[in-house]
Amino acid sequence: MRISTRSNIAWVILAVISLVNTSILLFQLTLISEKDNVVNFLGKQRFLSQQIASYVLAKYQGVDHEAELQQAMAFVDRIMHGLIEGDRELKLPRTTEERVLFQMRMVEDAWKQYKETIQKAKEDPAFAPALFEKSRIFLQEMDRAVSLFAIDENVKILRVIQISLLVVNLVILVGFAVFMQRNIVSLILGLTERIKELTKGHLDVTLPELKGKDEIAMLYTDLQHMLTSFKKIFNKLVVASNTVVSTVDNLRVQGQRTKDGVSLQAFEATQIATAAEEMSQTINEIANSATRAAENSEKAMQKSEEGKKMASDAGVIITNLGESTEELKAMVEKLHKRSTEIGDIVAIIKDIADQTNLLALNATIEAARAGKQGKGFAVVAEEVRNLAEKTLKATTEITEEIQSIQKEIRQTVSSMGKTSQEVTKVSDYIEKVTGVLHAITNAVQEVKNQVTDITAAVEEQATASHEVARNVEKVSMESKNIETMAHDVMHEVNTLIMVTEQLRSATFEFRTEESEKMIFDIAKTDHRLYVGKIAASLIGDVVLDPSNLPDHRQCRFGKWYVSEGVQRFGNLQVFKAIDEPHVRLHALAKEVVIAWNRGDRERAQKLYKEMEDISREVVTCLEKLKVTTGEAKATNKAV
């Protein structure tokens, strides 16, 4: 039954009660008419007293009205008795008010004296003046009695009317209050309590199923449907968030490895360039010594063997450089693939944010339709919509950054292709140099006769050596550029980690049935985000104060561990095994930040690697705990 229908029924009941109230008032008006009857009889007494006096005076004139006189006096006696003791036939109530009763006694005394004077005046006309005096006294006392009767009865009637109205109004108010309490207030209070739970993030709250089709029942049903939809969206958001964090974390680790590999490659390229320069200098020395080859052929032979060996080594180095360049190219292409996957994930987050924004808008509209009852929920819906808009804005920025990274990666791949071609050329040159050195070795016996030819060959070798040195220098510069790009990629990855951290912080307080099932994945996500934040500080993307770093009980994972985790899994050994490495990890995190802030970069990197090893222990324990609890649930279901 709708509230409007119930309200109409309540108004009908109020109308019925009002009719009853009107009936009571009519009854009281009837009582007023009875009281008027008392006043009328008092007025008759005044008339009869005057008539009695006229009967007595008529006797002085020879007119006998004795029968009428006696009848009038008897009627006055009856009225007098009825006014004091009550008379049903005359409809006179008994007098109970002390003041009125006292006055009626005075009237009764005045009437007795008046009657005595009447008896005397009938016998002796000399008592006529006394007759009028006693009549006056009787009428005076009667007037006082009339006034008291009127006042007393009016007060009684007003009191009865007031009490009647008070009782009726109290009945109306109590009835209406009970109606409001049962049909509206209690339901709204119940809804308010559950909305408070929702504002605390308890999305697993269940609204009771109300019978009926009134507005509040419809509001409960619509809110439950909206809550179900929001929980589905939130669950998808949690899954996507965990996936993004896992992917970004893997990307961060792979990116760090790529950065380290590129740094090593740049260092090795520098070494190759130095070796090539040294080779060039050696060849120049050979050219200068060629004029003395005839005098010292043995030295020329040794020098040619040294040149051959260096050319062979250079060939090996160039070959290794080519392989490293191809590996670097493959890693950059893999990095490009990873960035594409991140873009896809960010697109999913954007779609979820769009859906959340749309649902929040619909919720705001429905809350507006609900009026005051939906005011609190409208605030929640507006906050959800703002959060969705922030998420949408963040995903747009991430998409732009990823597209920029992909563009730079494509440029890097193109540059790596050119570098590979240059390395191939250098390899060809090295082969030529090797051939020349072979020729020098074979011709060293004829060096005296072919000094000029040897000198020309050495000059050609020197030219090729300079070319090799220049190409190796280019490779070194490209390696440094790739290192810079890898460093930039790590910056972007850390930015994505910070965005993911904000997303996780925004969803931290919310709980659903599905999120409870993903509790270990969420715990692992929170843990890896913390490690990622420490890693970001090591390349300057975030500045951390070691005194503000949370300990193992204050981080998000630690809060879950010491509260809900202990309550649910505290009896499991695999759960207890998490505590010790988790404590060490937070202690190391502070040492890492302290070492980095004071400029001890080498120690900070060393401690961070140790921290990563411990983090893997924590993650392994969480995976084991997930498997253990899953097996326990399966066993319970089987039992």
Q: What is the DSSP string of 446-509?
A: GTTTTHHHHHHHHHHHHHHHHHHHHHHHHHHHHHHHHHHHHHHHHHHHHHHHHHHHHHHHHHTT
Residue % of the chain over a pLDDT of 70: 60
Confidence of residue 609 (pLDDT cuts 50, 70, 90): very high
pLDDT digits (tens, 9 = 90+) for 4-63: 566 667 667 766 766 766 666 555 555 544 444 555 656 666 677 777 878 887 777 777
**Does residue 447 carry a pLDDT above 70?**
no
Q: How far apart are CA 106 and CA 94, in angstroms?
A: 16
pLDDT at 590: 92
> In degrees rounded to 5, what are phi and psi of residue 92?
-105, 125
pLDDT-wise least confident of 15-19, 360-364, 381-385, 629-633: 629-633
Which amino acid is present at 218?
M
**Does residue 290 carry a pLDDT above 80?**
no
242 touches 523 (CB < 8 A): no
134 touches 175 (CB < 8 A): no
Q: Give the residue carrying structure tokens 């409007």.
A: 4
Confidence of residue 637 (pLDDT cuts 50, 70, 90): very low
**Does residue 253 carry a pLDDT above 80?**
no
Three-state helix/strand/coil letters over 348-371: HHHHHHHHHHHHHHHHHHHHHHHH
Burial grade of 157 (CB within 10 A; 0-12, 13-18, 19 or more): middle
Q: How far apart are CA 66 and CA 44, in angstroms?
A: 19
pLDDT at 559: 85
pLDDT digits (tens, 9 = 90+) for 396-410: 887 887 778 777 777
pLDDT digits (tens, 9 = 90+) for 305-324: 776 677 677 667 767 766 77
Counting other chains too, the contacts that 402-411 makes at CB distance below 8 Å and 24 or more residues apart are: 402/339, 402/342, 402/343, 402/346, 402/492, 403/343, 405/339, 405/488, 405/489, 405/492, 406/336, 406/339, 406/340, 406/343, 408/485, 408/488, 409/332, 409/333, 409/335, 409/336, 409/339, 409/485, 409/489, 410/336
> Distance from CA of residue 153 to its chain's centroid?
68
Q: How far apart are CA 130 and CA 116, in angstroms?
A: 10
DSSP conformational letter for 94:
P
Structure tokens at 443: 């011709």
pLDDT at 262: 64
Confidence of residue 592 (pLDDT cuts 50, 70, 90): very high
Determine the 3-state secondary structure of 186 from DSSP: helix
pLDDT at 491: 65
pLDDT at 600: 92
Structure tokens at 89: 């036939």
56 touches 135 (CB < 8 A): no
Q: How far apart are CA 405 and CA 616, in angstroms?
A: 29
Which amino acid is present at 413?
V
**Does residue 638 carry a pLDDT above 50?**
no
pLDDT at 587: 92
Q: How far apart are CA 1 and CA 220, in angstroms?
A: 15
pLDDT at 563: 86
Q: Give the residue carrying structure tokens 């016996």.
A: 445
Domains of the chain: 3-190 (1.20.120), 219-492 (1.10.287.950), 518-639 (1.20.120.30)
What is the CB-side half-sphere exposure of residue 98 using CA atoms within 13 A?
Answer: 0
Structure tokens at 534: 């420490």
CB count within 10 Å of CB 5 equals 11
DSSP conformational letter for 125:
G
Average pLDDT of 84-98? 78
Q: Give the residue carrying structure tokens 């390696």.
A: 479
Mean pLDDT: which of 136-140, 234-238, 255-259, 279-283 is highest?
136-140
Q: Say which residue, 541 or 481, is predicted with more confidence.
A: 541
DSSP conformational letter for 214:
S
Burial grade of 602 (CB within 10 A; 0-12, 13-18, 19 or more): exposed
Cβ partners under 8 Å of residue 308, min gap 6: 434, 437, 438, 440, 441
pLDDT at 595: 93
